C-alpha cells in the first residue's frame, strides 16, 4: 500500500457507517474519525466544543458548516491525519463541508464509499440500536422493547437521546436534502463507490474491501 488511504464513508443514519468504519480502521490501521462520536464525547465532557454543539445535537439539526470544518481541521492536524490516512464517518455531510475540507476537486480523499440501505430498513435498525454512552459500542437488539444491554466493558448500552422516532425522521429528511447530493458530487469527481449495505455486517465488509481493492487501495493480499 503506497500511502495510507483517505476514505469518506457516506450513508444515511443507521446504514452501518460506524460498524464498518470500526472494522476498516482495524483492518487498514487507519484512524477512524466520527464527528457524531466526537461531538457526543465533547457534550458529555462539557468541553467548549461540547457547549457549542449540544443544542444542534439535541434538536437533530446539523452543526453549522464552518464550525464542523474548523473542529475537524483542528482534530486532523492534532492527530496527523495528513500522513496517517483517515476514515471519515459522518463528515462531510454537506457539499460546503466537502469543498472546504477536501477542496472543490475532492483531491483530499481517495474514495467515498456510500453504504446503500433503504429508508425502511434503517428506521427499523435505529429502533433496535443500543449505544454505549461511554465508548460508543453499538449493537442491534432483537426485541425493540429491551431498553439496555451491557457492553463488553460492563456499561449499559441504551437508545441514543436523538434516536427518538421524531428526531430520526428529522435527521433522515435532512440527510436526503443536505447529504444526498454528496453522492453525485463524489461521482462527478470519479471518487464514488456505492456498496450494498443490506445484509450481514461481514458480507457488507467484504463488499467494501472489494471496492477498495478494485481501486488499488489495498495491498494485493
Ligand atoms: P446520525 O448520522 O444518526 O445523525 P451522528 O452520530 O453521525 O448520527 O451525528 C449526530 C449529530 O451530530 C447529528 O445529528 C448532528 O447534529 C451532528 N453532526 C455530526 N456530524 C456532522 C456534520 N458533518 N455536520 C453537521 N453536523 C454534524
CA-based torsion, 115, 116, 120, 121: positive or negative = negative
Q: Whose CA is nearest to atom 1 of ligand 1?
A: 13
| CA–CA distance, 72 with 88 (Å, rounded to integer) | 10
Nearest ligand 1 atom to alpha carbon 57 = 16
Nearest to 22 by CA among 215, 201, 214: 201
| CA–CA distance, 155 with 177 (Å, rounded to integer) | 36
**Average pLDDT for 104-117:** 97
Q: Per residue in 73-106, pLDDT tens?
A: 999 999 999 899 999 999 999 999 999 999 999 9
pLDDT band at 49 (very low <50, low <70, confident <90, very high): very high
Report residue 192 as a C-alpha cell: 464514488
| CA–CA distance, 49 with 67 (Å, rounded to integer) | 9
Q: Catalytic: which of 17, 23, 40, 207?
A: 17
Tell me how far the alpha carbon of residue 63 lies from the centroid of ligand 1, in angstroms: 7
93 is catalytic: yes
| CA–CA distance, 125 with 35 (Å, rounded to integer) | 21
Instruction: Find out whether 93 and 62 touch, Cβ atoms under 8 Å.
Output: yes
| CA–CA distance, 40 with 2 (Å, rounded to integer) | 34
17 is catalytic: yes
Q: Whose CA is nearest to atom 9 of ligand 1?
A: 36
Percent of the chain predicted with pLDDT > 70: 98
**5 phi and psi angles, rounded to 5 deg:** -70, 150
Report residue 60 as a C-alpha cell: 437533530
59 is catalytic: no
177 is catalytic: no
> Which helix (H) or strand (E) segment is 196 a member of?
strand 192-196
pLDDT band at 7 (very low <50, low <70, confident <90, very high): very high
| CA–CA distance, 111 with 39 (Å, rounded to integer) | 24
**Average pLDDT for 161-173:** 89
- pLDDT value at residue 164: 86
Instruction: Find out whether 18 and 125 touch, Cβ atoms under 8 Å.
Output: no
Nearest to 11 by CA among 208, 151, 156: 208
- Which residues, judged by CB distance below 6 Å to any ligand atom, belong to the binding site of ligand 1? 13, 35-36, 39, 56-57, 60-63, 68, 90-91, 93, 97, 162, 171
23 is catalytic: no
Tell me how far the alpha carbon of residue 132 lies from the centroid of ligand 1, in angstroms: 17
Q: Whose CA is nearest to atom 2 of ligand 1?
A: 13
- Please tell me the class of the 6-117+178-214 domain: alpha beta
pLDDT band at 2 (very low <50, low <70, confident <90, very high): low
- pLDDT value at residue 1: 47
Domain boundaries, the chain: 6-117+178-214
Residue 117 has pLDDT above 80, yes or no: yes
Report residue 205 as a C-alpha cell: 465488509
Q: Per residue in 130-164, pLDDT tens?
A: 999 988 899 999 999 999 999 999 999 999 988 98
Question: What is the reported pTM?
Answer: 0.92
- pLDDT value at residue 220: 56
- pLDDT value at residue 162: 87
Amino acid at each position: 500500500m503506497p500511502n495510507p488511504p483517505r476514505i469518506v464513508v457516506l450513508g444515511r443514519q443507521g446504514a452501518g457507517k460506524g460498524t464498518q468504519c470500526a472494522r476498516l480502521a482495524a483492518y487498514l490501521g487507519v484512524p477512524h474519525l466520527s464527528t457524531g462520536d466526537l461531538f457526543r464525547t465533547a457534550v458529555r465532557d462539557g468541553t467548549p466544543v461540547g457547549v457549542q454543539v449540544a443544542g444542534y445535537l439535541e434538536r437533530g439539526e446539523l452543526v453549522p458548516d464552518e464550525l464542523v470544518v474548523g473542529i475537524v481541521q483542528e482534530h486532523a492536524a492534532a492527530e496527523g491525519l495528513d500522513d496517517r490516512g483517515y476514515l471519515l464517518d459522518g463528515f462531510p455531510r454537506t457539499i460546503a463541508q466537502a469543498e472546504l475540507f477536501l477542496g472543490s476537486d475532492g483531491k483530499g480523499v481517495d474514495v467515498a464509499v456510500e453504504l446503500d440501505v433503504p429508508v425502511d430498513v434503517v428506521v427499523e435498525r435505529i429502533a433496535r440500536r443500543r449505544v454505549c454512552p461511554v465508548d460508543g459500542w453499538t449493537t442491534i437488539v432483537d426485541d425493540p422493547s429491551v431498553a439496555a444491554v451491557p457492553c463488553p466493558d460492563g456499561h449499559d448500552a441504551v437508545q441514543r437521546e436523538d434516536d427518538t422516532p421524531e428526531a430520526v425522521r428529522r435527521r433522515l429528511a435532512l440527510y436526503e436534502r443536505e447529504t444526498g447530493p454528496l453522492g453525485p458530487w463524489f461521482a462527478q469527481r470519479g471518487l464514488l463507490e456505492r456498496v450494498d449495505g443490506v445484509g450481514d455486517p461481514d458480507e457488507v465488509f467484504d463488499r467494501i474491501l472489494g471496492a477498495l481493492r478494485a481501486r488499488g487501495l489495498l495491498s494485493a493480499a
